Amino acid sequence: MKRTVRFLPEALEDLIETQRWYASREPGLGQAFAEAIAAAVERIAQVPARFPCVYGAVRRLVVRRFPYAVYFREAGDEILVLAVHGRQDPPRWQGRS
């Protein structure tokens, strides 16, 4: 069963900020990043439990092609995306759970 996915406002800001950064580096790269995140979210929505827990109940899906991951947890009937984050400063998102 496909689940509803909801982004925390901070996670949405992570996504927008990173997409803008990639777009400023090369034409089309920001769009490619957004598409990679959309594909990741689709995979999460299908079977969230297939991805490893990395911080308590928080799970992680590493994004293909980009050095980012989607951090999420199950919250009742929905999936809550806590962060779209690279390897830098994990405590930045860990307080969002």
Token look-up 């927008």 returns 16
Residue-range definition of the domain harbouring residue 39: 4-94
pLDDT at position 91: 57
C-alpha 8/C-alpha 22 separation (Å) is 21
CA-closest candidate to residue 3, choices 82, 95, 75: 75
Q: What average pLDDT does the segment 34-53 reach?
A: 96
Query: Could you tell me the pTM of the whole model?
Result: 0.87
CA dihedral 67, 86, 58, 96 (to 10 degrees): -160
> CATH number of the domain that 86 lies in?
3.30.2310.20
pLDDT digits (tens, 9 = 90+) for 44-84: 999 999 999 998 999 999 998 999 999 999 998 899 999 99
Tokens of 34: 């957004």
Total domain count, the chain:
1
Percent of the chain beyond pLDDT 70? Answer: 88
Residue 4 and residue 72 in contact, taking contact as beta carbons nearer than 8 Å: no
pLDDT at position 94: 57
Q: What is the DSSP letter of 50?
A: G
